[in-house]
């Protein structure tokens, strides 16, 4: 546990699996510095196989993930990054490019076979709805992915500081996929963490009506 780890509030001391919840939430942090430990293909596949089970509208699953790990791929990614994100991203074992598939609906006859869900999104009249659905549900899936990564022992560093048009041109040149956000993955250096910033209380962010 990091020297900066927060004490557990009362309602996180007796869940069914406190260790798992602690990894995912209480002790889960955004990392900017990384230990020199590789992330292998098998672990990335395990994370995906968990994350894909999360709910999406009409089981549409529009998220597409490109894992940047090789030196050649990192060299392509570097010019796309905001200056403040270069060092930590180049040092990360893997960077996930979370993208939305604009033609996700082509898979719906297989993914949602009990209704003609493809017709809800395909065609010029549905273009805006398809774009919104791809963005919304790929965001959901990317969040599932990060929680699955934490559950399986990895740390995450999500970010949005990048040149999206350049990144899309570099990695998704045919235009079908559009980057949503990116996330460094690896084993974070706990000594690099600062104390956790405050979070909004229930009464500040939530209402029951």
Question: Which residue segment(s) compose the domain that 61 sits in?
Answer: 30-188
What DSSP letter does each residue of the chain carry, written as one string?
Answer: --TTPPPPPGGGSSSS-HHHHIIIIIS--B-SSB-S----HHHHHHHHHHHTTS--GGG---EEEEEE-SHHHHHHHGGGB-HHHHHHHHHSSEEEEEEEETTGGGGHHHHSTTTTTHHHH-SGGGHHHHHHHHHHHHHHHHHHHHHHHHHTT-EEEEE--B-HHHHHHHH-TTSSEEEEEEEEEE-B-GGGPPPPPP---HHHH----
**Which segments in the chain show pLDDT lower than 70?**
1-16
Assign residue 136 the CATH number of its domain.
3.40.109.10
* Per-residue pLDDT reduced to its tens digit, 129-153: 999 999 999 999 999 999 999 999 9
pTM for this entry: 0.90
Q: Which residues contact 175 (CB under 8 A, 6 or more apart)?
A: 102, 168
Q: Please indicate, yes or no, if residue 23 is contained in any of the structural domains.
A: no
Q: Please indicate, yes or no, if residue 103 is contained in any of the structural domains.
A: yes
Count of structural domains, the chain = 1
Q: Please indicate, yes or no, if residue 5 is contained in any of the structural domains.
A: no
Q: Please indicate, yes or no, if residue 159 is contained in any of the structural domains.
A: yes
Task: Tell me the two tokens of residue 17.
Answer: 């699996």
* Per-residue pLDDT reduced to its tens digit, 150-176: 999 999 999 999 999 999 999 999 999
Q: Please indicate, yes or no, if residue 121 is contained in any of the structural domains.
A: yes
What confidence score (pLDDT) does residue 69 get? 97
Q: Please indicate, yes or no, if residue 113 is contained in any of the structural domains.
A: yes
Q: Please indicate, yes or no, if residue 201 is contained in any of the structural domains.
A: no
Task: Tell me the two tokens of residue 187.
Answer: 């084993």
Q: Please indicate, yes or no, if residue 126 is contained in any of the structural domains.
A: yes
């Amino acid at each position: 546990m990091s020297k900066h780890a927060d004490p557990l509030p009362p309602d996180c001391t007796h869940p069914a699996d406190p260790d798992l919840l602690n990894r995912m939430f209480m002790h889960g942090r955004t990392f900017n510095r990384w230990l020199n430990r590789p992330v292998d293909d098998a672990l990335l596949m395990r994370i995906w196989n968990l994350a894909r089970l999360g709910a999406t509208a009409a089981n549409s699953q529009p998220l597409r993930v490109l894992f940047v790990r090789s030196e050649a791929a990192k060299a392509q990614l570097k010019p796309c990054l905001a200056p403040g994100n270069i060092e930590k991203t180049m040092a990360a074992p893997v960077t996930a490019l979370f993208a939305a598939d604009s033609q996700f609906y082509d898979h719906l006859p297989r993914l949602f076979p009990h209704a003609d869900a493809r017709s809800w999104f395909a065609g010029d009249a549905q273009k805006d709805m398809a774009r919104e659905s791809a963005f919304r549900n790929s965001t959901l899936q990317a969040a599932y992915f990060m929680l699955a990564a934490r559950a399986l022992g990895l740390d995450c560093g999500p970010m949005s500081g990048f040149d999206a048009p350049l990144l899309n041109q570099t990695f998704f040149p045919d235009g079908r996929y559009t980057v949503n956000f990116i996330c460094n993955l690896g084993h974070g250096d706990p000594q690099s963490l600062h104390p956790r910033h405050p979070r909004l209380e229930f009464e500040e962010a939530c209402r029951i009506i």
